C-alpha cells in the first residue's frame, strides 16, 4: 500500500501544536458552543453541556464555518466531526490510518482524520465531503464523475475516496492511470470499485484542470 | 416471459452517497447517545475466574460496566443454520464460560467514546485456561465422520482405468469478509419499544433474535437496516454485540452506540473457514472427463455445524458421469465460521478448476477447448434440464474479447519485451440461482408520491436500483417521488439477503406488484380512456391512493414458506426445483505478469463474461462483477488469516496486516453479459450475480501463473515465496 499522504512529514509540521498552546487553550475552556454555522453546518447539533473529559477548547474552520468547541484532548478529528459536529460523511473503517475512509482535507491537504487529534487542527481549515459541493449547491466535478462511472457500491468508502481523489488531482498525481492507482492506494474499497474510481478521477481531472 | 431490456441508468442512491448523506447505522443522530466498548477475552477456552470492574467503573463519565452477571436471564437466540437467528449459537456474556478468543467479557458504556475506550482497558480479568485446537491439523481438532455428498456412477473404478489422471490437494485459508463498515449497533429503548439501527443483511433475524435473547415481545423490537457499508456474508444474522448493546440501552434508558473495533471483529463475527480439497480427475484418450472424486475437510467451531457444500457446483460444471464427493467437518476452538462471498464455490472452483487445467495439460489439450469439449447439457446430478445455461457462450465470447487464439500454449513461452513472464489462464465458475420468498407492498398516491416496501437489503450490490428499474419500467408514476423502504421488517417481512438471491427474489415480486397495480388501475378506469399518470387520475377520481400487496416464493415452494419469512427464518429455495435446476455461470480470462527476478505477480487484465439471466440494472451489475473479480484477486494473491497455534487468535487482525486488494493491485477488468432471461426461474428471468462474479477467478489466476512460469500453485494465497 502506498502512503495516504504523499508527504506525511510536512503534514505533521503543519498540524503541530505545542504543548504550551494546548494547555493555554485548555485553561480558557469554559463551555462548548458552535458559532457561525452557515449552510453546510445547518444539520449540526450543538453540544449542550460539556461532557466528562472534554477539557480542551479548539477553534477551527469546518467547511468555511468557524467552530469553537470543547473536546476530549484524546479525541480524534474524525470522532469530533462525527460525534460532536454531526458531520457523519467521513467514515470510520479502521480507526488506525489503514483504510482512508476518514479522509478529509486540512489546510488543503488530505489527512486520515482518525489519526489526527482534534487538538491539532486548532486554527486550521478543515474540508469534509459535506463542504465539497460548489457554492451554488451543484456537485463538485469529482462527485459527478463518481456517479457517472459508478465508482462506488455500498458508498461507505466513497466520501474518503472522493476527498482523496480531489487531493490526488490537486497534487498533480493524476497524470496517468498508473499514477492515479498508486496515489489512491491509501483508500481501500472492499466493494472493489477501483476501475470506476480510476475512470472517475481521470475524467474529473480534466474538468478540474480548468480551475 | 420477460422481454424487457433494461436501459443503463445511474445507481439511484449514488447522489446521496457522493454527498456523504447516506446514513449508515453509526451515523444515526440520537439525542443523549452513549458510547459502548467491549472488553475481549484474552484466552481461547476456559472460565472467567474473576473480573474486576472497579477501576473502569470509577472513571468519570462511565455509565455502566456490564458483565455476564447482568445477563443471567438472557439466552442464546440459537444458530441461524439450526433453527435460530445468530451467526453462532454461543452468545457471549451469558455465563463465565469462554469458548473462543476475543469474545466480549464486559461491555463499558460511557458518555463519550474516549472514556469508553479508556475504561475498557481498565477492566481486569483472571482466567482458568483449558487446552484448545486452533488449526485444522491440530491434534485436539475433532474430525467428524464424512458427510455423504454426490455419488454418480463409479468414480473410483473409472479413475483407476482412465487414460489421464490428476490427483492433487489444494488449500484455502481462513479469510475475513472485512466490509469497510465495521459492524455497528445503535440501540434505543423508548416507551417500551426497542429500536436497533444496524447494517445487517438479515433485519428480521435481528428483530426476532434480539427478542428471543432478551425475552421481549418481538412486536416491540424494531430494526432499521436501510444501508450497509458492505456485508459479504459477515452481516447475515444476529451478532452477539447486538444483544449486548440492546441490553445496555434498556438498562440505561439512553441510546447506546457500539461500533465493534476492526481488530475485535476478527474474533467476534463470522469468517471463511480454512479448508483442504483433494481432487482426483480422470480423462479418456479423447479428452473427455470420465470420473471425478472430491474429498474436502473444512474447519468448524465446537458447537455449531456449518455444512460444507463444495461439490454443489463442481458436480455440474462439466458432464462427468462418474462422480463422488465427501466432506469432513473438523472442529476447532474458534467462533463459528460462516458465509463469506462465494463461501464454498470460491475454494471449490479454485481446487476443481485448477485440477481441470492440470488435466487439460496432461491430455495435451488447450484448456479452453478442453472445457468446451466437456460442457454439460443436462444436470449430471439430477438428470433434470438446466433452466438456462450459457456457459459455453461465456467461454467463447470471453475468448474472443481476450484474444485467446493468440496464446502460445507452452508454459513459460510468452514474454514481454522487458523479460516479464506472461501467463494467460482461463477458469469457469457457477453459483446456484436461488430465490427467497418475498413480499411487496406498493402504494401509489394521488399526491404524486409512491411508497414501495419490499423484502431486501442494500449492501452496495445495487438492489435499490434494480427495484427502482422494475418499478418504473412498468408504471406511469412520478419517478422523482418514489420512496423504497427495504431492510425494515415492520414495513415488509425481510428475507435474509444473501446467496445471490436478492435481486431474483425482490425484482420479480415488484414486477408482480406493478402488474397487480396496473390491473387495479385498469379496473378503476373501467374502460374510460385516460390521459396522465396514475397520480393524476387518482386525484381526478378523488381516491387518495391505491395499495396492493404481492408475494412470491421460489418455484415449487409451498405457501407455508411465508410463515418462515414472517418469523425471520431462512427460507430460500434452489438450485434444484423439480423438474429443473438453475445456476448462474461465468468464464474468466486472466493475464498475469510475473517479474523474473522478484517473482512479483500482477494481474494485468481480466475479461469476465457472465450468464446471470436478465440484467435488470446494467451499470450496477457491471460494478458488482468487477467487485467480484477484485475479491477473486484478493483471495488468490493476498488474503489469509495468520493463526498462532499457541494462542489461537488471528495475528494479523487489522487492515495493514490482513492485506486487501488496493487500487494499485487492480488492472483492467472487462465485463460482459449474455443477458438472456431464464425462462423458468421467475417472471423477470433473473438469476443471481453477486457471488458467481468471484467464482473461478483464483483458479484462472493460478492457471495463468502456471502458464507464465510452469509452476503449479495449489495453496491460497499464491505468493512470491511459492515461485522462488
Ligand atoms: S478510519 Fe481512518 S484510515 Fe481507516
Ligand atoms: S463502495 Fe463499498 S467499500 Fe467502497
Min distance A26 CA to chain B CA atoms (Å): 17
Distance, in Å, from the CA atom of B609 to the CA atom of B607, rounded to the nearest integer, reads: 7
B14 within a domain of the structure (yes/no): no
- For residue B66, the cross-strand partners are B107
A68 interfacial to chain B (CB closer than 8 Å): no
Name which of B658, B269, B61 is nearest A96 in CA terms: B658
CATH of the domain at B77: 3.90.1170.50
Angle between helix A194-209 and B618-637 (nearest 10):
120
Residue B220 and residue B105 in one domain? yes
Q: Look at B531 and B116; give whichever has higher pLDDT.
A: B116
Q: Across all residues in chain A, what is the average pLDDT?
A: 82
CB atoms within 10 A of CB B302: 17
Residue B393 and residue B258 in one domain? no
pLDDT at B185 over 70: yes
Give B 111-170 residues with CB within 8 A of chain A. 111-115, 118
Grid cell in block for residue B467: 427495484
Distance, in Å, from the CA atom of B112 to the CA atom of B237, rounded to the nearest integer, reads: 28
The residue whose grid cell reads 474468466 is: B588
Distance, in Å, from the CA atom of B276 to the CA atom of B295, rounded to the nearest integer, reads: 8
B673 within a domain of the structure (yes/no): yes
Residue B551 and residue B521 in one domain? yes
pLDDT at A34 over 90: no
- For residue B97, the cross-strand partners are B47
pLDDT at A12 over 70: no
- For residue A112, the cross-strand partners are A103
* Contact criterion met (CB below 8 Å) for A165 and A132: no
pLDDT at B667 over 50: yes
Residue B429 and residue B393 in one domain? yes
B174 within a domain of the structure (yes/no): no
What pLDDT shows up at residue A13? 34
Phi-psi category of residue B40: left, alpha or beta, with phi > 0 → left and psi -120 to 50 → alpha = beta
- Percent of chain B topping pLDDT 90: 97
Q: Strands, DSSP E only, in B553-627?
A: 576-577, 580-581, 583-594, 601-611
* Residue B327: HSE in the Cβ half-sphere, 13 Å Cα cutoff: 20
Distance, in Å, from the CA atom of B378 to the CA atom of B310, rounded to the nearest integer, reads: 20
Min distance A148 CA to chain B CA atoms (Å): 7
Torsion of CA B659, B236, B327, B354, to 10 degrees: -40
Q: What is the pLDDT of residues B283-301, one digit of tens each?
A: 999 999 999 999 999 999 9
Across the interface, whether the CB atoms of B27 and A74 are under 8 A apart is answered no
Distance, in Å, from the CA atom of B338 to the CA atom of B232, rounded to the nearest integer, reads: 11
Phi-psi category of residue B403: left, alpha or beta, with phi > 0 → left and psi -120 to 50 → alpha = left
What pLDDT shows up at residue A9? 35
DSSP state of B342: S
Distance, in Å, from the CA atom of A30 to the CA atom of B337, rounded to the nearest integer, reads: 51
By residue count, chain A amounts to: 211
pLDDT at A15 over 90: no
Q: Look at B719 and A39; give whichever has higher pLDDT.
A: B719
DSSP state of B479: G
What pLDDT shows up at residue A163? 98
Give B 286-315 residues with CB within 8 A of chain A. none
pLDDT at A18 over 50: no
Residue B599 and residue B475 in one domain? no
pLDDT at B1 over 60: no
Summarize the confidence of residues A99-120 as an average pLDDT: 98
Lowest mean pLDDT among B61-75, B416-430, B484-498, B522-536: B522-536
Optimal mutation site among A153, A180, A181, interface B, most CBs of chain B within 10 A: A153
CATH of the domain at B683: 3.30.365.10
Residue to mutate (ligand 1; options A77, A94, A185; most atoms within 8 A of CB): A94
* Contact criterion met (CB below 8 Å) for B297 and B143: yes
What pLDDT shows up at residue B4? 76
B445 within a domain of the structure (yes/no): yes
Q: Across all residues in chain B, what is the average pLDDT?
A: 97
* Contact criterion met (CB below 8 Å) for B636 and B701: yes
Residue B334 and residue B311 in one domain? yes
Per-domain residue ranges for chain A? 14-44, 52-131, 133-211
Residues enclosing ligand 1, CB less than 6 A? A 92-95, 97-102, 112, 114
* Contact criterion met (CB below 8 Å) for B691 and B342: yes
What pLDDT shows up at residue A210? 52
Residue B522 and residue B418 in one domain? no
What pLDDT shows up at residue A42? 34
- Cα Rg of chain B, angstroms: 26
Write out B252-310 in H/E/C secondary structure.
Answer: HCCCEEEECCHHHHHHHCCCECCEEEEEEEEECCCCCEEEEEEEEEEEECCCCCCCCCC
Summarize the confidence of residues A122-132 as an average pLDDT: 98
> Helices (DSSP H) in B561-718: which residue ranges?
561-566, 618-637, 697-709
Residue B526 and residue B621 in one domain? no
Distance, in Å, from the CA atom of B205 to the CA atom of B79, rounded to the nearest integer, reads: 11
Domain A133-211 has CATH 1.10.150.120: yes
Burial letters for A118-141: b for 16+ Cβ neighbours within 10 Å, e otherwise? bbbbbebebbbbbbbbeeeeebbb
User: Helix, strand, coil: what percent of chain A each, to 5?
Assistant: 40, 15, 50
> Coil, strand, or helix at residue B481?
helix
Distance, in Å, from the CA atom of B48 to the CA atom of B50, rounded to the nearest integer, reads: 6
What pLDDT shows up at residue A5? 39
Summarize the confidence of residues B67-80 as an average pLDDT: 97
Distance, in Å, from the CA atom of B505 to the CA atom of B437, rounded to the nearest integer, reads: 7
For residue B27, list chain A residues with Cβ-Cβ distance below 8 A.
82, 88
**φ and ψ at B587, to 5 degrees?**
-125, 130
- Provide the sign of the torsion angle of the four alpha carbons B623, B629, B633, B636, taken in this order: positive
pLDDT at A23 over 50: no
* Contact criterion met (CB below 8 Å) for B457 and B228: yes
> Coil, strand, or helix at residue B78?
coil
Distance, in Å, from the CA atom of A150 to the CA atom of A196, rounded to the nearest integer, reads: 6
Residues sharing a CB contact under 8 Å with residue B588, sequence separation 6 or more, in sequence order:
B398, B426, B427, B428, B429, B606, B607, B608, B629, B632, B696, B697, B700
What pLDDT shows up at residue B219? 97
Residues sharing a CB contact under 8 Å with residue B190, sequence separation 6 or more, in sequence order:
none
Give A 134-193 residues with CB within 8 A of chain B. 139, 143-144, 146-148, 150, 152-159, 162, 180-182, 184-193
B527 within a domain of the structure (yes/no): yes
What pLDDT shows up at residue A136? 85
Q: How many CB pairs under 8 A join A and B?
A: 206
Residue B552 and residue B623 in one domain? no
DSSP state of B356: H
Q: In what order do the strands lie in the sheet with A56-62?
A: A65-71, A56-62, A125-127, A103-106, A109-112
Nearest chain B residue to A194 by CA distance is B663
pLDDT category at B46 given cuts 50, 70, 90 is very high
pLDDT at B418 over 50: yes
pLDDT at A37 over 60: no
Q: Look at A25 and B323; give whichever has higher pLDDT.
A: B323
Nearest chain A residue to B631 by CA distance is A192
Summarize the confidence of residues B110-129 as an average pLDDT: 98
- For residue B431, the cross-strand partners are B584
Residue B429 and residue B445 in one domain? no
- Strand pairing class (B643-644; B580-581): unpaired
B6 within a domain of the structure (yes/no): no
B419 within a domain of the structure (yes/no): yes
Residue B100 and residue B214 in one domain? yes
pLDDT at B62 over 80: yes
Distance, in Å, from the CA atom of A12 to the CA atom of B655, rounded to the nearest integer, reads: 23
What pLDDT shows up at residue B657? 98
* Contact criterion met (CB below 8 Å) for A133 and B19: yes
Task: Tell me how many domains chain B contains.
Answer: 3
B691 within a domain of the structure (yes/no): yes
pLDDT at B2 over 60: no
Q: In what order do the strands lie in the sheet with B46-52?
A: B97-98, B46-52, B124-129
Summarize the confidence of residues B539-549 as an average pLDDT: 96
From the alpha carbon of B230, which atom of ligand 2 is closest?
2
Q: Topology of domain A52-131, per CATH?
A: Ubiquitin-like (UB roll) (3.10.20)
> Which of B531, B555, B572 is the last residue before a domain boundary?
B572
What pLDDT shows up at residue B529? 84
> Coil, strand, or helix at residue A19?
helix
What pLDDT shows up at residue A112? 98
Q: What is the pLDDT of residues B603-645, one digit of tens each?
A: 999 999 999 999 999 999 999 999 999 999 999 999 999 999 9
* Contact criterion met (CB below 8 Å) for A180 and A173: yes
Residue B186 and residue B54 in one domain? yes
Q: Look at B529 and B38; give whichever has higher pLDDT.
A: B38
CB atoms within 10 A of CB B482: 18
What pLDDT shows up at residue B5? 81
Range of B533's domain? 435-572
- Percent of chain B topping pLDDT 70: 100
Summarize the confidence of residues B29-43 as an average pLDDT: 97
Would A52-131 and A133-211 be classified into the same CATH topology? Answer: no
Summarize the confidence of residues B103-121 as an average pLDDT: 98
Q: What is the pLDDT of residues B705-716, one digit of tens each?
A: 999 999 999 999
Summarize the confidence of residues B238-267 as an average pLDDT: 98
Summarize the confidence of residues B58-84 as an average pLDDT: 97
> Coil, strand, or helix at residue B516?
helix
* Residue B717: HSE in the Cβ half-sphere, 13 Å Cα cutoff: 22
pLDDT category at B527 given cuts 50, 70, 90 is confident
Give A 70-109 residues with CB within 8 A of chain B. 72, 74-75, 79, 82-83, 86, 88-96, 98-99, 101
From the alpha carbon of A92, which atom of ligand 1 is closest?
1
Summarize the confidence of residues B345-356 as an average pLDDT: 98
CB atoms within 10 A of CB B569: 18
Amino acid at each position: 500500500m502506498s502512503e495516504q499522504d504523499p508527504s506525511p512529514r510536512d503534514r505533521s509540521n503543519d498540524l503541530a501544536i505545542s504543548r504550551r498552546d494546548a494547555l493555554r487553550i485548555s485553561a480558557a475552556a469554559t463551555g462548548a458552543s458552535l458559532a457561525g454555522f452557515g449552510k453546510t453546518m445547518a444539520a449540526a447539533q450543538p453540544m449542550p453541556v460539556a461532557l466528562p473529559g472534554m477539557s480542551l477548547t479548539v477553534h477551527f474552520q469546518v467547511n468555511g464555518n468557524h467552530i469553537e468547541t470543547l473536546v476530549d484532548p484524546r479525541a480524534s478529528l474524525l470522532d469530533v466531526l462525527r460525534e460532536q459536529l454531526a458531520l457523519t460523511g467521513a467514515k470510520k473503517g479502521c480507526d488506525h490510518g489503514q483504510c482512508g475512509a476518514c479522509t478529509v482535507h486540512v489546510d488543503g491537504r488530505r489527512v486520515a482524520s482518525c489519526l489526527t487529534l482534534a487538538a491539532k487542527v486548532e486554527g486550521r481549515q478543515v474540508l469534509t465531503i459535506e463542504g465539497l459541493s460548489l457554492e451554488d449547491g451543484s456537485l463538485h466535478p469529482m462527485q459527478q464523475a463518481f456517479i457517472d462511472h459508478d465508482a462506488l457500491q455500498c458508498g461507505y468508502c466513497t466520501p474518503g475516496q472522493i476527498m482523496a481523489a480531489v487531493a490526488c488531482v490537486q497534487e498533480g498525481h493524476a497524470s496517468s492511470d498508473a499514477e492515479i492507482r498508486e496515489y489512491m492506494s491509501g483508500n481501500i474499497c472492499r466493494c472493489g470499485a477501483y476501475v470506476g474510481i480510476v475512470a472517475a478521477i481521470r475524467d474529473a481531472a480534466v474538468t478540474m484542470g480548468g480551475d | 416471459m420477460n422481454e424487457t431490456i433494461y436501459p443503463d441508468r445511474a445507481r439511484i442512491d449514488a447522489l446521496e452517497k457522493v454527498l456523504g448523506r447516506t446514513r449508515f447505522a453509526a451515523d444515526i443522530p440520537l439525542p443523549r447517545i452513549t458510547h459502548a466498548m467491549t472488553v475481549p477475552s484474552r484466552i481461547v477456552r476456559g472460565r472467567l475466574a474473576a473480573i474486576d470492574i472497579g477501576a473502569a467503573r470509577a472513571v468519570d463519565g462511565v455509565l455502566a460496566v456490564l458483565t455476564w452477571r447482568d445477563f443471567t436471564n438472557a439466552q442464546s437466540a440459537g444458530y441461524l443454520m439450526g433453527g435460530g437467528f445468530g451467526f453462532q449459537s454461543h452468545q457471549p456474556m451469558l455465563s463465565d464460560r469462554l469458548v473462543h478468543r476475543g469474545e466480549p467479557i464486559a461491555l463499558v458504556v460511557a458518555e463519550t467514546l474516549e472514556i469508553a475506550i479508556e475504561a475498557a482497558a481498565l477492566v481486569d480479568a483472571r482466567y482458568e485456561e483449558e487446552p484448545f485446537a486452533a488449526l485444522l491439523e491440530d491434534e485436539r481438532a475433532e474430525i467428524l465422520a464424512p458427510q455423504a455428498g454426490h455419488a454418480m456412477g463409479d468414480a473410483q473404478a473409472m479413475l483407476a482405468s482412465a487414460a489421464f489422471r490428476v490427483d492433487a490437494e489444494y488449500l484455502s485459508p481462513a479469510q475475513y469478509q472485512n466490509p469497510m463498515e465495521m459492524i455497528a449497533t445503535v440501540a434505543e429503548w423508548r416507551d417500551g419499544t426497542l429500536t436497533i439501527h444496524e447494517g445487517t443483511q438479515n433485519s428480521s433475524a435481528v428483530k426476532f433474535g434480539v427478542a428471543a435473547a432478551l425475552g421481549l415481545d418481538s412486536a416491540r423490537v424494531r430494526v432499521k437496516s436501510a444501508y450497509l457499508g458492505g456485508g459479504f456474508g459477515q452481516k447475515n444474522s444476529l451478532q452477539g454485540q447486538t444483544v449486548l448493546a440492546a441490553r445496555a440501552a434498556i438498562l440505561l434508558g439512553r441510546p447506546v452506540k457500539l461500533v465493534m473495533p476492526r481488530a475485535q471483529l476478527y474474533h467476534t463475527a463470522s469468517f471463511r473457514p480454512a479448508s483442504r480439497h483433494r481432487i482426483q480427475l480422470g480423462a479418456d484418450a479423447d479428452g473427455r472427463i470420465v470420473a471425478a472424486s472430491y474429498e474436502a475437510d473444512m474447519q468448524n467451531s465446537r458447537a455449531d455445524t456449518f455444512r460444507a457444500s463444495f461439490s454443489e457446483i463442481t458436480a455440474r460444471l462439466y458432464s462427468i458421469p462418474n462422480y463422488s464427493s465427501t466432506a469432513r467437518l473438523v472442529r476447532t476452538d474458534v467462533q463459528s465460521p460462516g458465509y463469506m462471498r462465494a463461501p464454498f464455490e470460491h475454494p471449490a472452483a479454485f481446487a476443481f478448476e485448477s485440477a481441470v487445467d492440470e488435466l487439460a495439460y496432461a491430455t495435451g489439450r488447450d484448456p479452453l477447448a478442453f472445457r468446451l469439449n466437456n460442457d454439460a447439457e443436462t444436470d449430471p446430478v439430477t438428470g433434470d434440464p438446466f433452466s438456462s445455461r450459457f456457459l459455453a457462450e461465456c467461454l467463447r465470447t470471453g475468448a474472443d474479447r481476450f484474444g485467446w487464439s493468440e496464446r502460445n500454449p507452452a508454459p513459460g513461452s510468452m514474454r514481454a519485451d522487458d523479460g516479464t513472464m506472461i501467463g494467460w489462464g482461463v477458469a469457469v465458475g457457477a453459483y446456484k440461482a436461488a430465490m427467497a420468498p418475498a413480499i411487496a407492498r406498493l402504494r401509489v398516491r394521488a399526491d404524486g408520491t409512491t411508497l414501495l416496501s419490499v423484502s431486501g437489503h442494500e449492501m452496495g450490490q445495487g438492489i435499490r436500483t434494480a427495484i427502482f428499474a422494475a418499478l418504473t419500467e412498468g408504471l406511469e408514476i412520478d419517478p422523482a417521488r418514489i420512496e423504497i423502504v427495504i431492510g425494515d421488517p415492520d414495513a415488509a417481512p425481510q428475507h435474509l439477503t444473501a446467496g445471490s438471491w436478492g435481486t431474483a427474489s425482490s425484482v420479480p415480486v415488484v414486477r408482480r406488484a406493478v402488474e397487480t397495480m396496473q390491473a387495479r388501475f385498469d379496473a378503476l378506469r373501467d374502460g374510460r380512456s385516460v390521459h396522465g399518470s396514475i397520480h393524476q387520475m387518482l386525484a381526478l377520481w378523488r381516491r387518495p391512493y391505491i395499495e396492493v400487496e404481492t408475494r412470491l416464493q421460489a418455484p415449487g415452494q409451498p405457501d407455508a414458506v411465508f410463515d418462515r419469512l414472517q418469523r425471520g427464518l431462512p427460507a430460500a429455495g434452489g438450485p434444484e426445483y423439480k423438474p429443473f435446476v438453475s445456476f448462474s455461470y461465468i468464464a474468466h480470462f486472466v493475464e498475469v505478469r510475473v517479474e523474473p527476478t522478484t517473482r512479483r505477480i500482477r494481474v494485468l487484465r481480466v475479461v469476465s463474461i457472465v450468464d446471470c439471466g436478465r440484467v435488470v440494472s446494467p451499470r450496477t451489475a457491471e460494478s458488482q462483477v468487477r467487485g467480484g473479480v477484485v475479491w477473486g484477486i484478493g483471495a488468490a494473491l493476498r488474503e489469509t488469516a495468520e493463526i498462532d497455534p499457541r494462542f489461537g487468535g488471528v495475528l494479523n487482525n487489522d487492515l495493514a496486516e490482513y492485506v486487501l486488494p488496493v487500487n494499485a493491485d487492480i488492472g483492467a477488468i472487462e465485463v460482459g453479459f449474455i443477458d438472456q432471461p431464464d425462462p423458468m426461474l421467475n417472471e423477470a428471468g433473473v438469476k443471481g450475480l453477486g457471488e458467481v462474479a468471484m467464482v473461478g477467478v483464483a483458479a484462472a489466476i493460478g492457471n495463468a501463473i502456471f502458464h507464465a512460469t510452469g509452476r503449479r500453485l495449489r495453496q491460497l494465497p499464491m505468493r512470491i515465496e511459492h515461485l522462488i
